[in-house]
Amino acid sequence: VYPVAGLPEEVEMKWDMFSDRVDRIPSAATDEAGSLPYFLSEGDDVLRWKNFLTNPTVPGLVPVVDPPRRADLLAFGAALLALLSLAWLARRYGATLRTGPRPPARAIWMTVLSLVVLGLAVPAGLRGGRLSQEDTETIVAGLLLNVYKAFDYREEEVIYDALARTASGDLLTDIYLDTRRTLELANQGGARAKVKSVDVLDATHDPLAGDQGFRTRATWNVAGSVGHWGHIHQRVNQYEAELTVRVIDGAWRITDLEVLQEERLPSPSYPGSGTAVPPAGGM
């Protein structure tokens, strides 16, 4: 593998390891559009690839839903306080409005103020409430995909920095080491896995007590490919794991992950149902 700063316009590889017994070598030039098989021989020993891609996928992390803002949480509290104030006013002066004298001016002003606060706070406060099932699955899918997307880069420092936007604490180092070993397969030819999509099939939501975040038990499929010696194998693995997700520095981060089960699925029958997050730029 030879890292480059950007996608080249042309690549050439010369092969000179021929013998009396091996005079033809199968090869292929592969990009995201597919694979072009070719046979190399002593008289034709250069494999060429030209960049004909019109819209190539550029490595990058996918956006993840923003966590609730502190202002939204405060608005939710203000709305609750306004409701309690209206309930107290109704109980205190409700009977007076029907049978007695006019309520004092302060009660009228308190009612008006509570209604104004309620009208302004409810729309913002609702955004700071409990995450929906769809939100949870989308957050988990985006974070998991970004773990794999980080390894689309080549430089070690860039990979680690990209992972730091998804995971935190000791888990950051663990994910870096474990995923690096998984994706860079230790076999002849230096095959490398390429993750195309993460499809979250199910994710529970259990809010953290006294902290902004949640625990989830999630099931997801990872679809990708492994290129090796001129041909590509499609792979789909299914995982079940327990994750802890917290808000750190204003963004979601995975702080704990325990894989409970892993299973290889038949690629042709992979349905791709659930909350899927493809890489930026498409699959």
Q: What's the domain range around 255? A: 133-277
Number of structural domains (the chain) is 3
Considering the domain boundaries, does residue 24 fall inside one? yes
pLDDT of residue 220: 96
In a domain, 282, yes or no: no
Given pLDDT bands bounded at 50, 70 and 90, which one contains residue 91? low
Instruction: Output DSSP code: residue 272.
Output: -
* Domain presence at residue 5: no
Instruction: Take residue 168 and report the two structure tokens written for it.
Output: 């935190």
Residues 267 and 42: beta-carbon distance below 8 Å: no
For residue 152, what are its two tokens?
């689309």
Q: What residue type is 86 in one-letter code?
A: L
Contact assessment for residue 185 and residue 216, using Cβ atoms and an 8 Å cutoff:
no
Specify whether 273 is located in the same domain as 137: yes
Mean pLDDT in the chain?
A: 76
227 inside domain: yes
Q: Are residues 156 and 84 in the same domain?
A: no
Domain annotation covers residue 19: yes
Chain-centroid distance, C-alpha 68: 17
Q: Does residue 61 sit within a domain?
A: no
What are the tens digits of pLDDT across the range 26-82?
Answer: 998 888 788 889 999 999 999 999 998 888 776 677 778 777 665 454 555 555 565
> What pLDDT does 140 receive?
94
Query: 74-84 pLDDT, tens per residue?
Result: 555 555 565 56
pLDDT tens per residue across span 221-260: 999 887 666 567 788 999 999 999 999 988 999 999 999 9
pTM for the whole structure: 0.62
- Same domain for 122 and 147? no
Antiparallel, parallel or unpaired: β 24-31 and 275-277? unpaired
